[in-house]
Structures are given as structure tokens and as C-alpha cells.
Structure 1
Amino acid sequence: MKRRLVQTVILLASAMALAGAVQPSIAQAAYPNKPVKIIIGFGPGSGTDILARMIAEELRVALGQPFIVDNRPGASAQIAASAVAKSPADGYTLFLTSNSSHSVNPHMFKKLPYDPIADFTPIGGIAYFPFILAVNPSVPARSPQEFVAYALANKGKLNYAYGTPAVQIPAEALNRLEKLEATGIPYKSSPGAMTDVIGGQAQFLVVDLASARPHLQSGRLRALAVTTSKRTVLAPDLPTIEETLKLKDFDLAAWTGLFGPAALPKDVQEKLSATLQQILAKAEVRERILASGAEPTPSDIPTFTALVKRQLEVWGRKVTDAGIQPE
């Protein structure tokens, strides 16, 4: 009887241990089992918002739970970034963001409420919103070389407009590196900056291609180049600043990607990353992203992690080139 009792106790203990090992696996495999929040740092109708809602709907279909976009605009996405950084690392709060929070802010502000590397888990890259160098049509230039020659011939007489720090940096870097001595004029947003370039109060600006497209099509603005290191499929005829003016590492664009808080469970990170890449591989999704003025750039976890770190360094060098002091 004693021997049988001991055997029973051993079997029961083994069963309990096995159950303890299996239950977490079952729980992890069930992710997501409730709605997931995707926080973004920009308002409804922005390029990032349109992209986030597109991705959220595709994630809902793929994973069987609602993915809800939560807009928290303000402070150049600092409010949204801080909220995600402080959230539980369980996969139910995600961050769809851009270079503003992770490449620009660390060099434009002396103190941030988050660390762009340590406080987040990279999941995957989504798309680029290319920036362009554009001029008022009265400027007699159809290439970056002709523009620089014109600006140098009128040194100190030109103005450039900018609506955000993300476009101020490439414009001022170009201004400083080419010694144009143009004056930067700040605006509350890119539409306001474009309005004054069209009106002649300023002669040039750097702006995202998506916002400028209607003015380019109507002839109110003329695009001269893109500020990315490679040409974009959205405007393949536009050369790059790098290739025309030979400015090294001039790779500045509004990249977008998906993050979780730091210490996100590896299985959740990998599941979200794989699903995101499957979504971005769909022809219909790619066409919708292109139609919104962005270029799909799907990337896996290692590739996206490297991009985030590289872009942080690139933007830092361009802030130095531009001589902009952090606030």
C-alpha cells in the first residue's frame, strides 16, 4: 500500500509539473486573445494615421482580434512614445511611429521622456514617406545642381520654408553644406509652408512627397530631387541629393515601423513581425500604400532594428551639419 501511495504521489506531481510547463505555452500560442491598441503620435488624417488604420485592419483579419488605433498627437510624438514605453510588455499596446520619435527627437530635444532604443522592441518596418526638394516655378532650376548655382548667385537672398523639425533638418543641412546662406522660415505645418513657397514668400522647401503631390501635378511647385539615398518608385525620374550634389549619407525620409514596449516576449514579437510581413507582401496592400503616397519597405526584426539605429546616427550627423541646437 505504501509503495502504491508513493507511486501515486509521484505520478500526480509529474502531471502537475507537466501542466505547469504546458499552460504558459498554450497562453502564448493564444496571442492575441483580446483587443490590441496601436498608439500613434499624429492626428487623424495624417499619413501615419492612414497607414496605421490600414495595417490595423489587416492585423484584425489575420489575427482575429480588433487592433484599435489610438491617436495621441503632440510634442513631435513624444506623448505617444512615452505612453508606449510605460505600457506593460504583453503585446496589447503597440506603437506605429516614424523617424520623428526615433530619429529626430533625440537630437532636437535635450531631454526626452523615453529612450528610442532601450525603451522599445522593434517588430518590423512598414513604409517610407520620401521627402523632396521643391522650388517655386519662378526659380530657374530643374536640377539640384542648377538650384545650387542659382542660390549661390543670389547668396543670402533666398528663403526656405519648413513645417516640422523633420523637414527643417535636411533643408538647413543643404543650406549649410552648400553655403547658400538662405533664411529658414518656420510654419506650424507643411501645408502652410507650401502655401508660402507657392506664393513666393519663400523660394524652396523640403517636404514629404505625399503632401506635395497635388501641387506638383498642378505645376504650383517643381520637384528637383528626393532626400533618400535611393530613388523612390513613387517618382523614379527624380534623382537623389546624394547622386547629384555628392553629399554623403544624405538619406533623410519619414520611415515608419511597428514597435512594442521594451522586453516584449520573443514569441509575440516574432508572431507580429511575421504577420506584418505577410500583410505587406499582399499586392493589394502594396497598391494601397503606394496610392497613399508612401513606399512599402517591409523588413524583418534584424533589418528593422539595424535601420532604426542607423537612422538615429544619420539624422544626428545632419543636425550637426545644419548647426541646429537642441531645445
Structure 2
Amino acid sequence: MGTWPERARLSSRVGTRIAMIAAVVFGMMTLNAYAESDIREAPFPASDITLVVPFGEGGATDILFRAIAEQAQVHLGSAIIPMNMPGNGATLGSQFVKQSPPDGYTLLGSHQTIDLAYIAGLSDYSHDAFAPVALLTRTVNIPATMAGHTLTQASDLAALVKQRPGELLVGIIPNSTDHFFWLHFFEQAGISPADIQFVRYPDTGAQVVALLGGELDLAMLNLPSAGALFNSGALVPLGVASDTRLAALPQVPTLIEQGITLTNTTDRGVFAPLHTPPERVERLAHAFEQALQQPALMEALLYTHGSSVDFMPREAYSRYLDTQYEQLQRLADNIAFER
């Protein structure tokens, strides 16, 4: 045990070490507190904001976020600069934002693919890894084919698959919203996915090119990515996955009208890194809300892009994401979503 002086010296050394560790911990906490305080107290925004789009140029997500950001930056007072960062099932861009400083200057523009990538095992994080800013739009999805194809409407697909099992080529971005759409569509239409050949593409733009070139039979598109091609007759919309017909495609029946009970939208919103100060999140959300109230933008979204405005601020959006995740997980289990 040692003599009393030895025990006293040992106790003193231990006490000194504990005090030093406590001082270091206190110092780190103080520095973190000062850093958070600096973020909160600094004028915001004081510089440009980067909006990461985890998909390639020309797809619906890219087109919609660029249109909305152009208006939102007017109300924010700082430029919002979209930056495409495709790759790894849209996880390259989301990972970049997830790891960015939580200061409100780096945002993610995305949709259900964050949770779908997690459910499929492509990433180790879901929407919980971010601070939701706001839900902005819902875009109606449209199964489509090329001009001159045997198919003219979605309800004919089941019969064609029976005639040509294993031959039809369907484009997908693996484990993304279009992959999920097709699996859900086949379930509702009574088609076995085993009788379809899925062809993988990095983004929607590549699928459009493949359709136009006759390399695919089907792809899930929408008005932002293919509206002009629908109007020109180069591509053919086979139905719209909504409750009512689209104003921009009044002649195209809904899937429900064709006996396929399926509504399907891609719900796009903005996310910030976790722990971004709430007041900055609210400032950003308010700018996007003001942008979506502009009549010209609302009209373009609805009539040109087949997208409805459905603004939800951060708390409501967070609850919605939790509910949506449960639905996606349940449906993924039921239809054997690829993991």
C-alpha cells in the first residue's frame, strides 16, 4: 500500500491527471460551444450556397431544383449554385453533404432515394442523417416507350410480356425511385419481374438517350425529363401514375383508368447537414417557400414539369419522412426490393 507520503504523492498525481483531462474536455466543449455560437451569430447567408444534386444534368431532379433555386436565391439574397454530383446510386452527393460543415452553406436536393439506398444496403444512413429543410414538390411518374413501339398504353404490357417473356428491356437506376416504381407497377399489373430484363443506367438522361436509340423498351420518365419529347412524338407516354390526368397530357389516361391501381410521385425536398442551426434552416425554408409562391414558377412546375407544389417546413417534413420511410420499408419487404 505504501507509506502515507507515498500515497499522498500518488493521490496528488492522479488528481493532477484528472484535472488535466477535465481541462482538456472542458476546453474542447468550450471551443465547440464557441464554434456553434459563431455559426449562430454570424450573418446568414454571407456567401453563395451550394445545392448538391446527386444526379446527372438534364434529369428531372436537376431541372426542377435549378428552376426553384433560381427563384429562391432572389428571396434569400445570396446565390444558390446547383452542383451535380452523380454516382453510387445517388449516395456520392448525399455523403458529401452529410460530411459538410453544418453551417447552411451546403445543401442536398433529393427525394426518396436517400431512404431507398439505405433500405437496399447501398448506404449506412437514412434521412435521419440530415436536417430536413423543406419538402418542395411532387412529380408524377410516367411509364414511357419509344415512338413506333408495339405498346401504346400501360395496360397492354402484361399481355406483351406473356408473348415475349424475358425479352423486354426496362431501364432503371438501381435501387432508386424508378427501380422501385417498376417493381411496384409489375406487382399491381400481375407481371413477374423475372420475365423482364432490367438494364442499369447511371441517370434518367442516359435512359432517355437509350429509348430514343431503340436500346430499351421502357423507362420511367416524367415531364421534366421528357415533356418535350412527348410533345414531339419521339417518345410515347403509356399512362400517368396520378389520381387525375395531367394538364400537360390531357389525352393520356391514368394508370388507374387502365385498371392498374397505382399512384406514384417523386417527392423532392431540400436537406442540410445534421445539426445545422434551426434558425438557418428556417431562413432557407422561407426562401424556398417564397419562391414556390411565384405564379410563373407554379405554372411552369404544374404545366411544363407535371409537378405540384407541396411545401412542408422542416418539422412537418421530418414527420412526413418518418412516415414515408415506414411505407417504403414495408413495400420493399413485400416486393423483394433489391438489397
For this pair of structures, how many residues does the alignment match? 297
Structure-2 change in CA distance of 1:230 and 1:85 (3 Å): farther
Contact 1:169 1:322 in 2 (8 A): no
Which of 294, 312, 329 is the aligned partner of 1:282?
Answer: 294
Spell out, residue by residue over 1:17-65, the C-alpha distance to the aligned partner (whole angstroms, 9 max, x if none): xxxxxxx799658322233222221234443333333333333322222
Whole-angstrom distance in 1 between the partners of 2:93 and 2:39:
32
Alignment gaps of 5+ in structure 2: 1-36
- Specify the alignment match of 1:55 in structure 2: 68
Instruction: Identify the match of residue 164 of structure 1 among 166, 169, 173.
Output: 173
Q: Bigger shift: 228-237 or 215-224? A: 228-237
Report if the CA contact (8 A) 1:91-1:268 is conserved.
yes
| CA RMSD, Structure 1 to Structure 2 (Å) | 3.3
- In structure 1, the partner of 2:139 is 129
Q: Is the deviation greater in 190-199 or in 258-267?
A: 190-199
Q: TM-score, normalised by structure 1?
A: 0.75
- Counterpart in the other structure of 1:264: 276
State the partner residue of 1:205: 219
Residue 203 of structure 1 deviates from its aligned partner by 4.0
Correspondence for 1:186: 199
1:227 to 233, 241, 255: 241
Alpha-carbon distance, 1:274 to partner: 2.0
Other-structure match for 1:90: 103
Give the Cα–Cα distance (whole angstroms) in 2 for the partners of residues 195 and 50 of structure 1.
Answer: 17
Q: Deviations over 1:137-195 (max 9, x none)?
A: 656665444444x3365262651421313322222332244333431230425455456
Q: In the TM superposition, what is the alpha-carbon distance from 1:236 to its structure 2 partner?
A: 4.6
State whether residues 34 and 65 of structure 1, in contact with CA within 8 Å, keep that contact through their aligned partners in structure 2: yes
Q: What fraction of aligned residue pairs are identical, expressed as a percent?
A: 21
- Cα pair 1:233 1:295 within 8 Å, conserved: no
Partners of 1:41 and 1:178 lie apart in 2 by: 31
Match of 1:21 in 2: none
Paired amino acid for 1:127 = T
Matched to 2:56, the amino acid is G
One-letter amino acid of the structure 1 residue matched with residue 181 of structure 2:
P
Corresponding residue for 1:293?
A: 305
1:2-13 aligned at under 5 Å gives the runs: none
The 1:46/1:174 distance shift into structure 2, 3 A limit, reads closer
Contact 1:234 1:295 in 2 (8 A): no
Compute the displacement of 1:277 (Å).
0.9
Aligned residue type for 1:208: N
Cα–Cα, structure 1 residues 269 and 175, in superposed 2: closer, same or farther, change >3 Å?
A: same
Native 8 Å contact 1:190 1:207 kept in 2? yes
What pairs with 1:5-154 in structure 2 (closer than 5 Å)?
28=41, 30-100=43-113, 102-108=114-120, 110-113=121-124, 115-135=125-145, 142-148=152-158, 150-151=159-160, 154=163
In the other structure, the counterpart of 1:309 is 322
Q: Which runs of 5+ in 1 are unaligned?
A: 1-23
3-state SS in 2 of match to 1:68: strand
Task: Tell me by how many angstroms 1:318 deviates.
Answer: 4.2
How far off its partner does 1:291 sit?
6.5
Q: State the distance in 2 between where 1:190 and 1:303 align.
A: 29
- TM-fit CA distance, 1:220: 4.0
Kept after mapping to 2: 8 A contact 1:43/1:72: yes
Return the alpha-carbon distance in structure 1 between the equivalents of residues 265 and 303 of structure 2.
18
Q: 2:137 touches 2:307 (CA, 8 Å); kept in 1?
A: yes
Going from structure 1 to structure 2, the CA distance change for 1:55 and 1:198 (only over 3 Å counts) comes to closer
1:257-307 residue CA offsets vs partner (Å, 9 max, x unmatched): 111112222222222222211110001222343476251423122443344
Mean CA deviation greater in 117-126 or 132-141: 132-141
